[in-house]
Amino acid sequence: MARRHQHNVLVIGSGAAGLSLALRLPANCRVALLTKADLNQGSTFWAQGGMAAVLHNRDTIDSHVADTLAAGAGLCHRDAVEFTVSNSRRCVEWLVEQGVDFDLREAPRNRPGKEFHLTMEGGHSHRRIIHAADRTGRAISEVLTDRVIAAANIEVFTHRVAVDLVVNNGRCEGAYILDEQSGHVDLFQASSVVLATGGASKAYLYTSNPDGASGDGIAMAWRAGCRVANLEFNQFHPTCLYHPKAKSFLITEAIRGEGGRLLLPDGTPFMQNFDERGELAPRDVVARAIDHEMKRLGADCVFLDISHKSPEFINSHFPTVMARCLELGIDISAEAIPVVPAAHYTCGGILVDNHGLTDVAGLYAVGESSCTGLHGANRMASNSLLECIVYAESAAHHIADNLGQIPTPTGAAPWDESQVTDSDEDVVISHNWDELRRFMWDYVGIVRTNKRLRRALHRVQLLQAEIAEYYGNYKVSNDLLELRNLAMVAELMIQCAISRKESRGLHYTLDYPELLPVAEDTILVPDNSPL
């Protein structure tokens, strides 16, 4: 039987953004935190790299801002960049207070004691990446999860899949949520709703993301009337492990930061032919270089070599990568790692302000589902975890400041499933899912053309018509909801890509290889926008 739940705040998503936002809310605020699977299953948990922050006395806020603006290829919003970077140290301190155990090193003689061990990544001009070996996301996720479970005011609901938002009189008042165990769709009502649902990299055939990255929040927000922006900028991580048994295993950026070299199959280095920064060039440059060489040579992969470092160094800095590769018969202290690019991060998303507030009153978006203006046309390495923590704090403060002024929502009707039946054609879902991810990879990948994009648009619109018919006749399931959302976001990605008549950052098209003189956001407005 379907149920009705009432809370002050509904947080959909349990990554770094959702967890930290829930913890930042006052203790008298009743919070529901929903996750699609168990806790510690999202992208944060699997993030190997680290979190960028200005922590060293030789680093400056201005330098971090300048590096971010340069990586964003002219499309970053300076106010958002300055807002994020200026709050970086305080957010690191908050994580340490929560119990996150970042790596330390011995301080120089003139500063006795311990300091954070900071590493280097592509696009950064200083060592400013704070990390916990190569398990930073896991370290943050586990600590924040423990804190959330212990919080008396936070109620955690696992195996819940969001169906759609509830909007009454222009205000978001909750969401319809599928309980996978009961099979019923429950109504969660709240004065404020937060989308912390992650990105949409599962739209692509090859991705470093876990299975839940299906663009749910972006699709729901669009259907609710929110604008989206810059969804043509899909970041492909240059180095995903190439092995038939290694599903979505990421090889951290920090290996290149610590001297790892990219090699062709014959052992020849090649990054110097594409960028003077070599392996430390921004991810889009590195990913295109690898894609170019693989296509030129007809190679299945290229190789990343860190074997010139000692086994002790490799094991202390990259224990997760070393252990996983050893499981597959690859000793990275003695041989190079086979790698390919894979869809990794959705730089665009739901348009928000510096409080994470969307176009719909009462609805917030934080983390990868949002478009804050920080990333521009290319996310700089390790800025994403920082964005999650900074905007979660800002959104939590805004929600808390306005909580007493918002009436308790009561008007939404329960979910009606009286006209639908159980499906006996789930094969349609799996076939449509495979078709979507394959044509997105082939037509809307690292290198694009007008013809490929038009083909992709035609295919995705046909798919959406099929999905809509299926959705209207059968009971919802996790697979159906993810397919529906992913197809919607894929169309938004394609529409954004078609609208951009230039190559900028992560969007590279053979038909418009040059930059336009003025950098402008690609903003899509739904028909039901409140603006």
Q: Which residue has the higher pLDDT, 27 or 211?
A: 27
Is residue 30 located within the same domain as residue 158? Answer: yes
At residue 404, the 3 state secondary structure works out as helix
Min mean pLDDT across 80-89, 116-125, 355-364, 406-415 is at: 406-415
Nearest Cα residue to 196 out of 153, 123, 144: 144
Arithmetic mean of pLDDT, 196-217? 91
Query: Amino acid identity of 304?
Result: L
159: burial class by Cβ within 10 Å (0-12, 13-18, 19+)?
middle
The CATH number for 28's domain is: 3.50.50.60
Is residue 75 located within the same domain as residue 200? Answer: yes
Predicted confidence (pLDDT) at residue 208 exceeds the cutoff of 90: no
Residue percentage of the chain with pLDDT more than 70: 96
The single residue listed with the structure tokens 């990333």 is 375
β-pairing, 185-195 vs 4-12, is parallel
At residue 121, the 3 state secondary structure works out as coil
**Is 458 contained in some domain?**
yes
β-pairing, 228-229 vs 523-524, is antiparallel
Predicted confidence (pLDDT) at residue 41 exceeds the cutoff of 70: no
Nearest Cα residue to 291 out of 435, 403, 441, 411: 441
Is residue 146 located within the same domain as residue 279? Answer: no
The CATH number for 491's domain is: 1.20.58.100
Is residue 21 located within the same domain as residue 143? Answer: yes
State the Cα–Cα distance between residues 271 and 337, nearest whole angstrom: 16
* 24 assigned to active site: no
Q: Which residue has the higher pLDDT, 124 or 261?
A: 261
The pLDDT score that the predictor gives to residue 48 is: 63
Is residue 199 located within the same domain as residue 292? Answer: no
Predicted confidence (pLDDT) at residue 307 exceeds the cutoff of 80: yes
Q: How confident is the model at residue 43 (pLDDT cuts 50, 70, 90)?
A: low
Arithmetic mean of pLDDT, 516-531? 97
Is residue 66 located within the same domain as residue 89? Answer: yes
Arithmetic mean of pLDDT, 96-113? 80
CB–CB of 362/173 below 8 Å?
yes
Average pLDDT, the chain: 92
Q: How confident is the model at residue 417 (pLDDT cuts 50, 70, 90)?
A: confident
Is residue 201 located within the same domain as residue 315? Answer: no
Predicted confidence (pLDDT) at residue 13 exceeds the cutoff of 70: yes
**Is 194 contained in some domain?**
yes
Written as one string, the DSSP assignment of 71-104 is: HTTT-S-HHHHHHHHHTHHHHHHHHHHHT----E
State the Cα–Cα distance between residues 368 and 347, nearest whole angstrom: 7
Is residue 132 located within the same domain as residue 118? Answer: yes
**Is 519 contained in some domain?**
no
CA angle, residues 168, 216, 503, in degrees to nearest 5:
115
Is residue 309 located within the same domain as residue 373? Answer: no
**Is 68 contained in some domain?**
yes
Q: How confident is the model at residue 123 (pLDDT cuts 50, 70, 90)?
A: confident
**Is 414 contained in some domain?**
no
Nearest Cα residue to 431 out of 393, 466, 402: 466
**Is 25 contained in some domain?**
yes
State the Cα–Cα distance between residues 523 and 477, nearest whole angstrom: 31
Min mean pLDDT across 106-115, 148-157, 449-458 is at: 106-115
Question: 71-100, pLDDT tens digit by residue?
Answer: 999 999 999 999 999 999 999 999 999 999
Is residue 85 located within the same domain as residue 202? Answer: yes
Q: How confident is the model at residue 175 (pLDDT cuts 50, 70, 90)?
A: very high
Number of domains in the chain: 3
- Which of 283, 459, 484, 504 is catalytic? The answer is 283
**Is 422 contained in some domain?**
no
The CATH number for 312's domain is: 3.90.700.10
Residue percentage of the chain with pLDDT more than 90: 75
Last residue of a domain, which of 325, 343, 361?
343
CB–CB of 308/332 below 8 Å?
no
Q: How confident is the model at residue 494 (pLDDT cuts 50, 70, 90)?
A: very high
Predicted confidence (pLDDT) at residue 230 exceeds the cutoff of 70: yes
Predicted confidence (pLDDT) at residue 467 exceeds the cutoff of 70: yes
The pLDDT score that the predictor gives to residue 109 is: 66
Alpha carbon 108 to its chain centroid, in Å, reads 36
The pLDDT score that the predictor gives to residue 386 is: 95
The pLDDT score that the predictor gives to residue 409 is: 82
CB–CB of 18/370 below 8 Å?
no
pTM, full prediction: 0.90
Predicted confidence (pLDDT) at residue 55 exceeds the cutoff of 70: yes
The pLDDT score that the predictor gives to residue 252 is: 87
Provide the domain limits for residue 215.
4-232+347-405
Arithmetic mean of pLDDT, 7-34? 97
The pLDDT score that the predictor gives to residue 45 is: 60
Query: What H or E segment, with its residue span, contains residue 442?
Result: helix 427-443
Is residue 273 located within the same domain as residue 204? Answer: no
β-pairing, 349-351 vs 228-229, is antiparallel
CB–CB of 148/17 below 8 Å?
no
Nearest Cα residue to 115 out of 137, 98, 96: 96
At residue 490, the 3 state secondary structure works out as helix
Predicted confidence (pLDDT) at residue 508 exceeds the cutoff of 80: yes
Is residue 77 located within the same domain as residue 20? Answer: yes
Predicted confidence (pLDDT) at residue 403 exceeds the cutoff of 90: no
Q: What's the DSSP call for residue 419?
A: T
Question: 240-287, pLDDT tens digit by residue?
Answer: 999 888 777 889 888 998 999 999 999 999 999 999 999 988 777 898
Written as one string, the DSSP assignment of 231-281 is: TT-EEEEEEEE--TT-TT-B--THHHHTT-EEE-TTS-B-GGGT-TTGGGS
Question: 423-446, pLDDT tens digit by residue?
Answer: 767 788 889 999 999 899 889 999
**Is 418 contained in some domain?**
no
Q: How confident is the model at residue 370 (pLDDT cuts 50, 70, 90)?
A: very high
Arithmetic mean of pLDDT, 151-155? 98
Instruction: Measure CA of the first residue to CA of the last residue in the chain; give whole Å.
Output: 38
